[in-house]
Amino acid sequence: MCSTPKTNLTAKMPKTPFRSFMASMTLFQRKRFAEVANRAEERREIREHYRQRANQKDKFLNPSRPSPNLLEWVKLFCEQTIKLM
């Protein structure tokens, strides 16, 4: 009979448990891996920070926009100072 329901063979659990690649590393190798990954994350954060500042500078120096008056300058300065904190 073709219409008989069959079990889903893809749902079976593998006979050998899954081990991450970190499990095969020594303690020193894991520590080194974490240090390298942390430095890479710091570099990504710094790049993103500079990218955001460059975008702000581009918006600020956009020649198509009229120059801001004193109140706008103070407001912008305060916003930038608060973001840096």
DSSP category for residue 2: T
The pTM score is 0.45
Q: Which residues contact 76 (CB under 8 A, 6 or more apart)?
A: 60, 68
Output the pLDDT for position 64: 62
Structural domain span for residue 62: 26-84
Q: What is the pLDDT of residues 26-72, one digit of tens each?
A: 999 999 999 999 999 999 999 999 999 888 877 766 656 666 688 88
Asked whether residue 30 is assigned to any structural domain, the reply reads yes
Asked whether residue 5 is assigned to any structural domain, the reply reads no
Q: What are phi and psi of 7, to 5 degrees?
A: -70, 155
Q: Three-state SS for 20?
A: coil
Q: CB 76: neighbour CB atoms within 10 A?
A: 14
Asked whether residue 12 is assigned to any structural domain, the reply reads no
Output the pLDDT for position 24: 84
